[in-house]
Amino acid sequence: MNKDARVFVAGHGGLVGSALVRRLRLGGYSNIVTRSRKELELTHQAAVEAFFKLEKIEQVYLAAAKVGGIHANDTYPADFIRDNLQIQSNVIDSGHRHRVKKLLFLGSSCIYPQLAPQPISEDCLLTGPLEPTNEWYAIAKIAGLKMCQAYRRQYGFNAISIMPTNLYGPGDNFDLQTSHVLPALIRKCHEAKQRGDEEVVVWGTGTPHREFLHVDDLADACVFLMERYESADPVNVGWGKDIAIRELAEIVRETVGFTGRLTFDRSKPDGVPRKLLDTSRLRSQGWAPRISLRQGIAATYEWYLKSQQALPA
């Protein structure tokens, strides 16, 4: 792979995009192109078209999307389906028109049916109803994957799709209104420790199992696949093992040093009982993750503390 290639990381300010930029720089890529949302609104088709026409991009990592947890998906269904359909359609179509050599589309494990057999293989796609809480987002992501397959089939466009499990790491979203479970737990435990609270309330029963992958491992897998994977078939990217939310909360409690107790609010939704990706397709290509959950949570908490210090008083 040519390390001088002009590589566009769409969504470089986000959790995944920033990890991709770190990983690409580390890997010797010297021509990374980024645009903030202010500079390039990806839902605006004409702006995206003009960007690709001018910039002569050779590779695209499509990590820009409207992303959020159960609450955000449930509250803003129209925004989730519209923004994601627009962003991905604009970038994939303009990328193809302006001769991008390869594009990597980031989907999500929520594209799979709610009751898919575990671990979930890529072949489960479209075999049953989706989890209703985030179906808007999931439908958009399925359309993105299908668009990559259609453009490969009709135009020979070299677009690949990956489906990551739940991600976490430096740059995560710690806003309790829109965040995912892991950063929300870190923030709740940290603030409870600071206030001297006796308990932290965790949403749901604590029994569902989820899989978590550090975003630096994800970025490594993306670059690995961009450099050698050439197929229309999507690739799951995960850690390979899941953990009960109760156990996860316990690791966070220990890492943060919160000495109070964890209680579980059973009135809040649990989501699906288990969600673990079958990562055999990726592993058969020769890639495996490296960052353990404990190491990753400790590094994420360290980043959270630093980012708090950086905020104006």
Ligand X SMILES: NC(=O)c1ccc[n+]([C@@H]2O[C@H](COP(=O)([O-])OP(=O)(O)OC[C@H]3O[C@@H](n4cnc5c(N)ncnc54)[C@H](OP(=O)(O)O)[C@@H]3O)[C@@H](O)[C@H]2O)c1
- Please identify every residue annotated as catalytic: 137
Q: Where are the alpha helices (DSSP H) in the chain?
A: 15-26, 45-55, 70-75, 77-97, 135-155, 181-195, 215-228, 245-256, 280-284, 293-310
Q: Compute the distance between CA of residue 169 and CA of residue 171 in angstroms, rounded to an integer.
A: 6
CB of 67 to ligand X, least distance (A): 4
CB of 174 to ligand X, least distance (A): 11
Stretch that binds ligand X, among 15-23, 96-104, 185-193, 283-291 (CB under 6 A): 15-23
Task: Tell me the DSSP string of 25-60.
Answer: HHTT---EE---TTT--TT-HHHHHHHHHHH---EE
Contact pick of 7, 8, 11, 211 for ligand X (by CB under 6 A)? 11
Cis peptide before 132 (omega within 30 of 0): no
Does residue 281 bind ligand X (CB under 6 A)?
no
CB of 196 to ligand X, least distance (A): 31
For ligand X, the binding residues in 20-39 under the rule CB under 6 A are 37
> Could you give the maximum distance between any two Cα atoms of the chain, in Å?
61
For ligand X, the binding residues in 165-204 under the rule CB under 6 A are 166-167, 173, 180
Q: Measured at CB, which residue is nearest to ligand X? A: 14
Does residue 41 bind ligand X (CB under 6 A)?
yes
Does residue 13 bind ligand X (CB under 6 A)?
yes
Q: Compute the distance between CA of residue 253 and CA of residue 270 in angstroms, rounded to an integer.
A: 20
Contact pick of 24, 57, 60, 65 for ligand X (by CB under 6 A)? 65
Contact pick of 6, 7, 9, 15 for ligand X (by CB under 6 A)? 15
Contact pick of 9, 24, 42, 60 for ligand X (by CB under 6 A)? 42
Give CA separation, 85 vs 33, 66, 88, 89, 150, in Å: 23, 10, 6, 6, 15
Does residue 66 bind ligand X (CB under 6 A)?
yes
CB-based burial label for 8 (10 Å; 0-12, 13-18, 19+): buried
CB-based burial label for 112 (10 Å; 0-12, 13-18, 19+): buried
Does residue 106 bind ligand X (CB under 6 A)?
yes
For ligand X, the binding residues in 75-104 under the rule CB under 6 A are 83, 87
Beta carbon nearer to ligand X, 87 or 143: 87
Binding site for ligand X (CB under 6 A): 11, 13-17, 37, 41-43, 63-67, 83, 87, 106, 108, 164, 166-167, 173, 180
